[in-house]
């Protein structure tokens, strides 16, 4: 089969012919139809410190994907029941494979597993014609979720997990970072009844794409955010902040402009440590909550229910796909994603 692999310790990837994976007793084999490109994949291609700590030469990468079950392991219950898997089902996959033995796993906090192994990072991934994953990680998709949307469930889940940290209905929400996940979070906040949703960035291309979902977008390098707040009738500050950029400047501005008692969820990963005005955090009684990945599988239920219940949200998320390329053009797909001027880039493995 075709597979995009890390050929050696160093920059670069290679599309190779490799043996089709064997399906273990508690696993399923999936024919990959679509994959989405993620910042993690770009880190692996460039071979930065993160990649060097996790990825081995010869490993297949990729973790955002949608496909069709073609084989079910011998010990996996197979049938038509609500919890059973069978050949032909269309699925997405939770990419965090957990140990189920650590204290967090045994307490039901699987997303906080101490020994998590990630598909496409710590084990072979889905940038290939076929991928094998544990059956318990498979998420069967309803008919409303087409292949492109199904390939985005991983990043959409990040947006859902972050947006649902705090109640958003009737609240004024500031979201920093107009990348695909930040824009998805803004769309979610809008759909579930946020009062004023303000999405900030300094990248004009990303802001232009995000403006299509119908929230207020602000280039904070060119426009005074306080003036925007006044025009929107936000007099005392934002009630909720979602920090999706990893930018120290964005975080400082969010702390400055949130109301007393506001809640801030932080998903964006910074490139290094940075200082925070803890006097303001303390005296304004702000709550800061770190967010990582998705809740297994509460977030998946929420994500599916949101997209099947709100057709407008499906269209908003789908509008963030700016490029679709066949898998053979993987290098072009990576270059587009790395440019910073695209939305989500989808690779088609069905051709």
> What would the pLDDT profile of 179-197 be if each residue is shown by its tens digit?
999 999 999 999 999 999 9
Closest by CA position to 218, among listed 233, 239, 203:
203
Shared-domain flag, residues 218 and 277:
yes
Shared-domain flag, residues 30 and 136:
yes
Catalytic residue among 40, 217, 299, 304: 40
Shared-domain flag, residues 143 and 187:
no
Instruction: Kindly state whether residue 67 falls inside one of the protein's structural domains.
Output: yes
Shared-domain flag, residues 143 and 212:
no
User: Taking CA 50 as the corner, what is the angle to CA 276 and CA 138, rounded to the nearest 5 degrees?
Assistant: 100
| Range 292-309 average pLDDT | 95
Distances from the Cα of 210 to the Cαs of 57, 82, 105, 190, 215, in angstroms? 37, 37, 37, 13, 8
Task: Name the DSSP class of 213.
Answer: G
Identify whether 323 is a catalytic site residue.
no
Instruction: Kindly state whether residue 303 falls inside one of the protein's structural domains.
Output: no
Instruction: Kindly state whether residue 182 falls inside one of the protein's structural domains.
Output: yes
Instruction: Kindly state whether residue 198 falls inside one of the protein's structural domains.
Output: yes
Shared-domain flag, residues 187 and 83:
no
Report how many domains make up the chain: 2
Identify whether 43 is a catalytic site residue.
yes
pTM as predicted:
0.95
Q: 235-280: per-residue pLDDT in tens?
A: 999 999 999 999 999 999 999 999 999 999 999 999 899 999 999 9
Instruction: Kindly state whether residue 306 falls inside one of the protein's structural domains.
Output: no
Instruction: Kindly state whether residue 119 falls inside one of the protein's structural domains.
Output: yes
Shared-domain flag, residues 125 and 202:
no
| pLDDT surpassing 90 at residue 281 | yes
Q: Where a domain ends, among 242, 271, 290?
A: 290
End-to-end, the C-alpha distance of the chain in Å comes to 13
Shared-domain flag, residues 204 and 285:
yes
Shared-domain flag, residues 62 and 201:
no
Angle between the 180-191 and 311-318 helix axes, to the nearest 10 degrees? 160
Q: Among residues of the chain, what percentage have pLDDT more than 70?
A: 98
| pLDDT surpassing 70 at residue 349 | yes
Distances from the Cα of 81 to the Cαs of 1, 78, 140, 152, 265, in angstroms? 31, 8, 12, 26, 37
Q: Residue 75 is part of a domain; what is its CATH number?
A: 3.90.180.10
Mean pLDDT over each residue of the chain, to the nearest integer: 96
| pLDDT surpassing 60 at residue 343 | yes
Domain that residue 191 falls in = 159-290
| Range 205-231 average pLDDT | 97
């Amino acid at each position: 089969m075709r597979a995009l692999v890390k050929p050696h310790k160093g920059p670069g990837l290679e599309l190779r012919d490799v043996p089709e994976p064997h399906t273990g007793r508690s696993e399923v084999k999936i024919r990959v139809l679509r994959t989405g490109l993620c910042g993690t994949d770009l880190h692996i291609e460039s071979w930065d410190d993160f990649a060097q700590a996790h990825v081995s030469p010869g490993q297949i990468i990729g973790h955002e994907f949608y496909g069709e079950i073609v084989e079910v392991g011998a010990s996996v219950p197979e049938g038509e029941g609500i919890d059973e898997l069978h050949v032909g089902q269309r699925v997405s996959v939770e990419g965090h494979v957990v140990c189920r033995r650590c204290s967090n796993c045994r307490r039901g906090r699987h997303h906080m597993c101490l020994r998590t192994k990630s598909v496409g990072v710590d084990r072979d991934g889905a940038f290939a014609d076929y991928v094998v994953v544990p059956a318990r990680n498979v998420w069967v998709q309803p008919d409303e979720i087409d292949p492109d949307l199904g390939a985005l469930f991983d990043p959409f889940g990040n947006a859902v997990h972050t947006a649902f940290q705090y109640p958003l209905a009737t609240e004024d929400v500031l979201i920093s970072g107009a990348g695909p996940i930040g824009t998805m979070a803004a769309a979610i906040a809008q759909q579930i009844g946020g009062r004023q949703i303000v999405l900030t960035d300094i990248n004009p291309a990303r802001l232009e794409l995000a403006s299509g979902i119908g929230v207020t977008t602000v280039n904070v390098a060119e426009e005074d955010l306080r003036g925007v707040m006044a025009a929107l009738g936000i007099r005392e500050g934002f009630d909720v902040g979602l920090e999706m950029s990893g930018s120290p400047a964005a975080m400082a501005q969010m702390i400055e402009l949130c109301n007393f008692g506001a809640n801030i969820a932080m998903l964006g990963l910074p490139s290094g440590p940075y200082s925070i005005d803890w006097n303001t955090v303390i005296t304004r009684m702000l709550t800061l909550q770190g967010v990582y990945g998705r809740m297994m599988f509460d977030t998946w239920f929420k994500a599916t229910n949101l997209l099947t219940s709100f057709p407008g949200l499906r269209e908003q998320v789908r509008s963030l796909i700016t490029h679709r390329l066949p898998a053979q053009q993987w290098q072009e797909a990576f270059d587009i994603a790395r440019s910073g001027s695209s939305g989500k880039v989808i690779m088609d493995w069905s051709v």
